[in-house]
């Protein structure tokens, strides 16, 4: 599958006095899952709505492949999007919801059933959406996005309201999409939610780009650390100082910053220091994410 690249270029949206999205530029490549991350109100949904032609940018543009979303002859076949879990007519059945949109993405009623089955809703096909749980609505939204088996998939907070089993399911699905060569953009306000499934991260806050890189690169910016319990903490502190690591006492043990658990273990072993506990205590991505998305004034 050769999927188009998404190119966000200087995208800006002004709502009255509020600049919801401010000169945002990034690209989303095919064959990978890109996490579009930021706190609630950072401008993620507004950006996605501009990408999908629902909201007009104040400046800049967003391209799906070589043109804007709305300029594609049948955009629903190119991009499958699920924006919010509540945008269904409650009186329509799940199957009827899909059948309503099927003609414009050019798929048959049989395909609607097939997609419903794929998201695990075949048992609720004839049930009115008003009686669906939030998790079921998320699945129906995803089914709508997948109707045309599109090369680009855009999901806004797809894990909201899903049970743990559903979250694992979404992760696996996202990995599968990327493996098939699709372009996948997934927004979330929690890095932890998508950490296991994304290859690339685009982090925004207050409408501005704060960070864009691969997840692996972001990880290298996190500092390694280890938690150690030793019968002679003073000896260990001296060892850490000798190696250029900082050690601070924490409860019964020490937190050694600047070294991985393996490095601390190897150094202690070489120095003949007895250890009773050795645990990874790396500055996790979530903390780094929190730091990256702090309000401008508080940085």
Partner 1 sequence: MRAALLAEYRKLVTTRIWWLLLLVMVGYLVFVGAAVAASFVFVPDGAEPPLAGKDAARTTYALVNGVGYVFPLVIGSLAMTTEFRHKTITQSLLVEPDRTRFLLAKLLSVVPIGLAAGVVGQLAVVAGGAPLLAAQGDGAFLGDGDVLAGLLLGVVVVALWAVIGVAVGSVLSNQVAAIVVILAFTQFVEPIVRVGLGQVDALVGAAAYLPGGAADSLIGASFLGSTGTVDLLPRWAAVLVLVGYAVGFAVLGRLTTLRRDIG
Q: Which stretch binds partner 1 (CB under 8 A): 95-103, 178-186, 267-275, 277-285?
A: 95-103
Q: Does the protein bind partner 1 through residue 132 (CB under 8 A)?
A: no
> How many other β-carbons are positioned within 10 Å of the β-carbon of residue 74?
10
Q: Six-digit token pair at 245?
A: 């690591």
Q: Does the protein bind partner 1 through residue 93 (CB under 8 A)?
A: yes
Q: Does the protein bind partner 1 through residue 104 (CB under 8 A)?
A: yes
Quick one: which of 44, 49, 171, 281 contacts partner 1 (CB under 8 A)? 49
Largest CA distance in the chain: 73
Q: Which stretch binds partner 1 (CB under 8 A): 72-80, 182-190, 224-232, 257-265?
A: 72-80
Q: Directed axis angle between helix 261-271 and helix 233-243, to 10°?
A: 110
Q: Does the protein bind partner 1 through residue 69 (CB under 8 A)?
A: yes
Q: Six-digit token pair at 122?
A: 């075949």
Q: Does the protein bind partner 1 through residue 101 (CB under 8 A)?
A: yes
Q: Does the protein bind partner 1 through residue 105 (CB under 8 A)?
A: yes
Q: Which stretch binds partner 1 (CB under 8 A): 25-33, 44-52, 248-256, 280-288?
A: 44-52
- What is the size of the binding site for partner 1 (CB under 8 A)? 35
| Closest among 150, 155, 166, 199 to 1, alpha carbons compared | 150
Q: Six-digit token pair at 33?
A: 């899952």
Determine what percent of the chain falls in helix, strand and coil, rounding each to the nearest 5.
40, 30, 35
Q: Which residues pair with 186 in a beta bridge?
A: 35, 155
Contact residues toward partner 1 (CB under 8 A) are: 45-46, 49, 52-56, 69-70, 75-76, 79, 81, 83-84, 86-93, 96-97, 99-106, 144
């Amino acid at each position: 599958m050769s999927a188009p690249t998404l190119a966000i270029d200087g995208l800006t949206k002004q709502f009255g006095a509020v600049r919801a999205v401010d000169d945002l530029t990034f690209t989303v490549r095919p064959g990978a899952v890109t996490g579009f991350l930021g706190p609630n109100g950072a401008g993620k949904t507004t950006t996605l709505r501009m990408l999908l032609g629902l909201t007009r940018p104040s400046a800049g543009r967003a391209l799906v492949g070589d043109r804007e979303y709305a300029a594609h002859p049948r955009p629903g076949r190119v991009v499958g999007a699920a924006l919010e879990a509540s945008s269904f007519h409650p009186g329509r059945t799940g199957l009827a919801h899909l059948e309503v949109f099927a003609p414009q993405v050019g798929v048959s009623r049989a395909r609607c059933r097939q997609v419903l089955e794929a998201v695990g809703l075949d048992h609720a096909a004839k049930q009115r959406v008003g009686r669906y749980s939030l998790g079921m609505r998320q699945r129906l939204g995803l089914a709508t996005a997948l109707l045309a088996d599109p090369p680009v998939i855009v999901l806004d907070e797809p894990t909201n309201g899903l049970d743990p089993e559903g979250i694992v399911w979404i992760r696996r699905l996202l990995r599968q999409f990327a493996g098939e060569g699709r372009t996948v953009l997934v927004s979330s306000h929690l890095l932890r939610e998508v950490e296991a499934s994304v290859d690339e991260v685009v982090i925004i806050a207050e409408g501005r780009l704060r960070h864009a890189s691969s997840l692996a690169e972001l990880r290298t910016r996190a500092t390694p650390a280890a938690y150690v319990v030793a019968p002679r903490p003073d000896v260990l502190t001296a060892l850490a100082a000798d190696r250029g690591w900082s050690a601070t006492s924490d409860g019964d043990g020490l937190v050694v910053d600047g070294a991985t658990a393996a490095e601390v273990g190897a150094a202690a072993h070489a120095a003949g220091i007895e250890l009773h506990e050795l645990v990874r205590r790396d500055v996790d991505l979530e903390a780094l994410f929190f730091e990256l998305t702090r309000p401008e004034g508080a940085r």
